[in-house]
Chains A and B, each alone.
Chain A
Amino acid sequence: MTKRLLVTVVDDDESVRESLPDLLKVLGYSVQAFSSAAAFLGSADIENNDCLILDVAMPEMTGPELSVELRRRGYRIPVVFITAHRDYSVPPLVPGQDAVQCLLKPFSEAALIAALDTAIPRN
């Protein structure tokens, strides 16, 4: 039995926290959802995450800030940023580093699968 990959969603928008985890489960992932960076940082097994889907524009701590914080703490977890702000300045994505892709809301299912596939290379 292969272990399901764990994907965590952090977004302050409730509709995203409702809809995205359902789709990811259908796609065969284990999913966690948090409404803020702080809530995620306070959770138990961060290192078990295979991929993080972070909203960019969140109050308190933004998605990019969270990814910087995780790296500072020594985690190497691939990140997919999502944002509704077209003009929002997304930090440049560094391949090999944490961030894999940035998806603009609304994004398609295919774009999501592609971003996840990039983030978690299939064996």
Chain B
Amino acid sequence: MTTFTTDAIAEVQQLRQAMSGLAALAALPAIWVGRDADYVLETLLDALLSALKADFVCVTLEGPKPKSRIRGRSGVTPAHDQLLRALAGTFGDDKSAWPPAGEISVGADAISILSAPMGLQGEVGVVVAGTRRRDFDDETGGLLLGAAANQAALALQAVRRLDEQKQIASDLDERVAQRTAELARANEALRFAARESREIVDNIPTLVGLLSPTGQVELVNRQIHEYTGRSTEELEKWGMSDLVHQDDLADALDSFVAGFAAGEPFEIVYRMRRHDGIYRWFEGLHHPLKDAEGRVVRWCVSCNDIEDRKQVEDALRERERTWRSVINGIPGLTATLSPRGMVEAVNRQIVEYTGCELEALRGWGSNGIVHPEDMPHVAEIFGKSIAAGASYEIEQRLRRFDGEYRWFSNRGTPAFDASGQVVRWYVLLVDIHEARLVADALRSSEDNARSIVSSIAGMIAVFTADGQLCGGNQQLLDFFEQPLEEVGRWATNGMTHPDDLQYCIDSFMGSIVSGEPYNYETRFKRADGVWRWFNIRGQPLRDASGQIARWYGLLTDIDDRKRAEEALEVSERNLQLTVDTIPALAWSARIDGTADFFNRHYLEYVGKTPEELGGWAWTAAVHPDDIARLGATWNLARETGGNAECEARLLGADGAYRWFIFRANPLLDDAGNVLKWYGINTDIEDRKRAEESLRLSEASLAEAQRLSSLGSFQWRLDTDELTFSDELYRIFEFDTAEPATLEQIAARVDPDDLPLLTEKMELARVGIDDHSYDIRLRMPDGRTKHLRSVSRSGTESDGRRVFRGTIQDVTQRKLSEEALNELRTELAHVSRVSTLGAMTASIAHEVNQPLAGIITNASTCLRMLAMDPPNIEGALETARRSIRDGNRAAEVITRLRAMFRKTTNTSETVDLNEAARDVIVLAGSELRRKRVELETNLASDLPPVMGDRVQLQQVILNLLLNAADAVTDIRDRPRRAMLKTSEDEDGNVRLTVQDNGGGIDPSSSTKLFDAFYTTKASGMGIGLSVSRSIIERHGGRIWASANDGPGASFSFAVPRSPKGYNGGDATAYSAHTQLRPQGEGQ
């Protein structure tokens, strides 16, 4: 504003223009009355263009017939579609949300825009004015535009209503004209082709007739005659006959008369009597056939059998009536809304209820008529429904005139025109307050019931009367983890175990058909795939008339019980199997002793059926010799009620008897009465045979003992209880009537051997095992018995230690052995003497040599003493030499005497080296005489041996002399012999004499030690034989072997002296015992 005057003038001009525009606009409604929308729009555009001084004005209408008009000055008005695109592009598609003022660009031009919605929410349309002017007065323009928009909206709504009515009328006219034309054509057709028509009419599958304009029957087709069974004349009098059901007759006549009077198509619905007296519903369609002038010339009646449809309709109508009565029972509040949701009209009840007039009601969105809490919900549902053109139903609270909110059901249904556009909303508000409260209470109560149902342990299924699943508790759904619909397909979807399915279906459907409760068991597959057993019980729920309304099924998980049952079954089966499998004949018998059960083994053994064995028939298989004893035992047991046991033979299926032990035990009741007998027959044939064989074996053992003078005994270490065999009693000459005792034995044992017996018994008691020793008995009459005892410890089955052994009477053998020993000793002696005899010359040399020294020394001594002066010194020396040589001679004599001595076998510790040295001394001169060089190689630390020294020396001497003989013939080399001793790897002491003579013939090496075998020209051939017997008596052995070089070696080995009882081996011990002193009586 640069100057006040100019501004003021401009403002006054503007105001004047605005007032002028406003007046023009205010006049518009007057000229719009009765005009159509186009006229309204055109005049509105003209008025606005001039009033606003805008470049252009554009009106866009919404609704069933959207249209848009633009009016503007040429040159500055944009293209219509270009403008609409620019508007939508700048302000959005929702025209109701366009701003009152703004700016858009059309092409290169910036255009100022004013806009105003038509209708409250812009539901009628929008008015837009635009100008390139910078000084576009938006304030005044907006005011004008808004006023014009309101005027126009009201006018256009009126126009639209008018249009609707016109449209309906026009549609109706159109249809009537169309129908008329059709009928005319039909009439024409009838007229031109009556004959053909008649045939067609007679054959079309409906009842058709033609009536005169006054209602006279002119023609009916065959179907009418056939259906009614009446003639044309009879049909004509339908108004006075029973052709039409008497209940429908009055209405039908009224309609008929009215319809004919109106001359328009009409319908009558009535029941028409069939020839058999049955009434069926028909719909009679009456069409007037008119001539060109519009006069009715004939009526065409077609009667369609609507009996079936009627029945459906009746049902529908019944339901509708029920519904209507409910609706009628509730005070109804109704309203109509515009397609955009604007409240257009309300009924009186709404006004009365709310205490608000229409204007106030239109503000329901914010004035609290609708409960604020419900508002968001209502707005959302309502908004969506209006936008989509779909009916809605909302429960909401509505404020009463007194301020109290009550619950209403708010239903809105759109009415559409032919093109599918919503033209109006019909709203019904029903007070459901009480119902709602009741429903709330019910819901809460239902929730309780549901929670009970949900929390009970079982699964509950609800079925319709025909068996369709229609409900189930949470457990049911949880178990399968499937929706209810899926659970309902239990018979086909695999959730019922295939093995049970047919049975389930039969049981379930059987009950559905019969109405009887069902109760069966089946397996269902749990969501995790595990099958579980269920008990299914179903009970029908009947309504008051006794019809089944529902089936209630309770599914109880009995899997654990079922498994227990199965386990029990298996256990019983096992029991049966056990009874049949135990390796014995099992049976049971009644109290009277008759048998009533046999296990499989029994039947198989005797090869009979239970029938063939029942009662007393089983006794047929008992051996005739045993039947009396078995019967007596069995009878006694039954009399006393005690256990029975008897051995008897049973005939097997193979025809052979086998021994059995029959055992029967009674089953007693609490009072001790026998209820039943159970028995087991165990095969003891093998035992019997073993017993028999044992008996025979014992007999033969006793015989063998008697023949071998061998008795056996058993000695319990803990009780000193002795068991003697018969033969042992005989050996000890005890009275068989009395048990043998240790005291008795001690009295019999030779007093010299008592320490031995005591020692052995002590060893036995401390657990030293394996005793083998000889002992003598001194019988009362003075006889001596030689016994050999072999025994060892053992353990009884009860764990007690026991000594068992045999004692053999070896007196005869002992005496023989002693005689033999004596002979052998004699032989050895003879042999020895003869050997020594052969050595006489050599032995004499051994003696003469020292004798020569003695005599010479003695002579010298005498001469020295006789000298003057006597040589005392020399005499003493020579005397000493004499004594020395005398001793030397005496030793030789002593050795000789020993060798000649005839001794019995003695046992002493012998050092073989020492013994050998003595022999070498004795044989020395013999060897020298034969010019044999003897090398000795005696082992140091040689262990001693036990034996007879002289006899061992005899062997050594024998070997030495043999070696000397073996080398006598050697001329070309020194004659050599070697004597060596050693301890061999077995712990034996070995002595070998080796020569380098002619050797031995290998073929004769085994005969060398036989008696009277000799390779020498002189000699008897008993030397080596005697040597062998001596060595063998010492527990050793003697052998010959060829040398690697010339000559042969003769060796013997004898056991080293035992170091004690534990140290010696059996051989050594045996040798020791053999060499025991044999008593003084020898």
Contacts and interface: CB of A to CB of B under 8 A. Distances in A.
Given A23-B856, A105-B852, A15 B929 contact: no
B859 interface: yes
Contact of A105 (B848, B863, B878): B848
B412 interface: no
Q: Which of A19, A26, A105 has the most CB of B within 10 A?
A: A19
Classify the secondary structure of A's interface with B.
loop
A4 interface: no
A19 B853 contact: yes
A106 B928 contact: no
A71 interface: no
Interface stretch (A32-40, A83-91, A94-102): A83-91
A20 B853 CA distance: 8
B431 interface: no
A69 interface: no
Given A26-B860, A86-B844, A15 B928 contact: no
Interface in A15-65: 15-16, 18-20, 22-23, 26-27, 57, 59
Given A15-B881, A19-B856, A57 B929 contact: yes
A4 B925 CA distance: 36
B648 interface: no
B849 A20 contact: no
Contact of B863 (A23, A59, A86, A87): A23
A58 to B, nearest CB: 9
B845 interface: yes
B848 A22 contact: no
B855 interface: yes
Which of B849, B850, B871, B928 neighbours the largest number of chain A CB atoms within 10 Å of its CB?
A: B849
A20 B881 CA distance: 12
A15 B849 contact: yes
A19 B928 contact: no
A54 to B, nearest CB: 14
Contact of A23 (B848, B859, B925): B859
Interface in B484-514: none
A111 B864 CA distance: 19
B867 A85 contact: no
Nearest to A26: B863
B851 interface: yes
B857 A85 contact: no
Interface string B857-877: 101100110010001001001
B867 A26 contact: yes
B867 A106 contact: no
B850 A15 contact: yes
Binding site secondary structure of chain B: helix
A86 B840 CA distance: 10
Nearest to B851: A106
Given A22-B860, A23-B860, A107 B852 contact: yes
B861 to A, nearest CB: 9
A2 interface: no
A76 B862 CA distance: 34
A108 B855 CA distance: 7
B379 to A, nearest CB: 157
Contacts of A82: 852
Contact of B841 (A20, A26, A86): A86
B167 to A, nearest CB: 178
B856 A20 contact: yes
Contact of A18 (B845, B848, B853): B853
B841 A87 contact: yes
A117 interface: no
Interface residues of B, number: 31
A27 B867 CA distance: 11
A59 B931 contact: yes
Contacts of A23: 856, 859-860, 863
Nearest to A87: B841
A106 B855 contact: yes
Contacts of B860: 19, 22-23, 26
B853 A84 contact: no
A27 B851 CA distance: 21
A18 B861 CA distance: 13
Contacts of A15: 849-850, 852-853, 881, 884-885, 888
Contacts of A87: 841
Contacts of A84: 844-845, 848-849, 852, 925
Given A15-B852, A106-B854, A109-B859, A26 B881 contact: no
A82 B853 CA distance: 12
Contacts of B849: 13, 15-16, 84, 105
Given A16-B856, A22-B874, A22-B878, A106 B863 contact: no
B220 to A, nearest CB: 184
A57 B925 CA distance: 10
Contacts of A86: 841, 844, 848
A82 to B, nearest CB: 8
A120 to B, nearest CB: 19
A19 B848 contact: no
A105 B844 CA distance: 10
A26 B861 CA distance: 10
Contacts of B845: 57, 84-85
Interface string B450-482: 000000000000000000000000000000000
Contacts of B878: 19, 22
Contacts of B884: 15
Contacts of A104: 848
B496 to A, nearest CB: 126
Contacts of B928: 57, 59
Contacts of A107: 852, 855
A84 B884 CA distance: 18
Contacts of A16: 849, 852-853, 856
Interface string B933-958: 10000000000000000000000000
A15 B857 CA distance: 9
A23 B855 CA distance: 10
Contacts of B925: 84
Contacts of B929: 57, 85, 88
A27 to B, nearest CB: 8
B859 A85 contact: no
B761 to A, nearest CB: 61
B852 A85 contact: no
A28 to B, nearest CB: 10
Contacts of A13: 849, 852-853
A76 to B, nearest CB: 27
Nearest to B848: A84
B964 to A, nearest CB: 14
Contact of A26 (B851, B852, B854, B864): B864
Contacts of B864: 26
Nearest to B853: A15
B896 to A, nearest CB: 15
A20 B863 CA distance: 13
Contacts of A88: 841, 929
Nearest to A15: B853
Nearest to B888: A15
Contacts of B931: 59
Nearest to A13: B849
Q: Which of A82, A84, A88, A107 has the most CB of B within 10 A?
A: A84
Contact of B881 (A18, A57, A85, A109): A18
Interface string B876-893: 011001001100100000
Given A82-B852, A86-B844, 16 more contacts: A15-B849, A15-B881, A19-B860, A22-B856, A23-B856, A23-B863, A26-B860, A84-B844, A84-B925, A85-B844, A105-B851, A106-B852, A106-B853, A107-B852, A108-B855, A108-B859
What 6 pairs between A and B have smallest CB-CB spacing?
A105-B852, A15-B853, A19-B856, A106-B852, A109-B859, A84-B848
Interface of A: 13, 15-16, 18-20, 22-23, 26-27, 57, 59, 82, 84-88, 104-109
7 contacts: A15-B852, A16-B856, A19-B853, A19-B878, A26-B867, A85-B844, A85-B845
